Amino acid sequence: MRFLRHVMPGVLLLFFTAANAQRSYDVDILAETFGFNEATKKSVALTDLRQGCPARDCIPSIDSPKFLAAKEASHVADDDLVITLSYKGEYRAYPSRILDHHEIVNDTIAGDALAITWCPLCGSAVGIKRSIDGKITEFGVSGVLYNSDLVLYDRATDTLWDQIEAKGVVGPMTGTKLVLVPVSVSKWSKWRDKHPDTLVLSTDTGFDYDYTPDRFAEYRESTRLFMPVSASDERVHAKTVVYGFELPSGAVAYAESVLQKGGHYSHDLDGEEAVVTLHDDGTVSMQRGDQTYRPIRVYWFAWYTFHPETDLIH
């Protein structure tokens, strides 16, 4: 077995080349922290959840985020990636170099409790409402992964939630879907220029981390995955950025490079014209008939793993 080590605060990443590789830890998060066993309500096998760090919350969420005005955001370079949100007339940017260390921001925007989630292993950004069974809660990093994707837990019911599908997979809320809030991933300069009144997540997070290095640069270029996945497809590089849409007729993904060529891509999709546009602020949308759809931005391997029936435009 060959592997590459990266030491990070709170977690030791091992990028395995052996599909069956699995680390062991002193604490079994599923059994000892959450108290899960074979009798627990679930939609996935516990053996499919791979422990990725020593303890729950080893990657700490940001629960009291602080923000700066765009003109004060000297900690973000023009080409840095930011997770972006437009919500009820308010604009937010969350630098990926900060979220690489935290993965979840429990935020409140326009009076609504939201969570911005980022999985650097899958390149996936997902926004959700922080309401479980009618009660406001916070989300944290469970310490386990499903198909190499971030698994959240909510602090009200201790249910585990798969990030990409935004669905409960283990615990009392298994099978429940979270309410999504569209987010995107843009270069800071594109988002800032179109939304100069945006607020930007500050490095004043309450944690003594150096947010300057791009800690996943080497990972993005490689084909190595953090954990084994249930399905794979090699039509494009595993870490190719795609925009995946879940439509009534099925799933379809568009490689970012296709949209970058002309700013949009138009084609017949199940007998109806679909126009996918990469907007000036870096956000992406699909117009199909009178319906507008928003995608998830994600690496190809992760989209395919969860949507093996997907079409791919590349």
Which residue from 145, 130, 167 is spatially nearest to 43, judged by alpha carbons?
167
Q: What are the tens digits of pLDDT across the range 249-297?
A: 899 999 999 999 989 999 999 889 999 999 999 999 999 999 999 999 9
Question: What is the Cα–Cα distance from 115 to 43, expressed in whole angstroms?
Answer: 23
Q: Which residue has the tokens 């992760």?
A: 302
Residue intervals in the chain for CATH 2.102.10.10: 67-201
- What does CATH list as the number for 67-201? 2.102.10.10
Residue-level pLDDT, tens digit, the chain, 314 residues: 222 333 333 333 434 433 334 567 999 999 999 999 999 999 999 999 999 999 999 999 999 999 999 999 999 999 999 999 999 999 999 999 999 999 999 999 999 999 999 999 999 999 999 999 889 999 999 999 999 999 999 999 999 999 999 999 999 999 999 999 999 999 999 999 999 999 999 999 999 999 999 999 999 999 999 888 999 899 999 999 999 999 998 999 999 999 999 899 999 998 899 999 999 999 999 999 999 999 999 999 999 999 999 999 99
Residue 37: what are its φ and ψ, rounded to 5°?
A: -150, -170
pTM score, two decimals?
0.91
Query: What is the rounded distance in angstroms from the CA atom of residue 124 to the CA atom of residue 96?
Result: 11
- Please report where in the chains the tokens 């997979």 appear, as a residue: 169
Q: How far is CA 194 from CA 35, 70, 71, in A?
A: 47, 11, 13
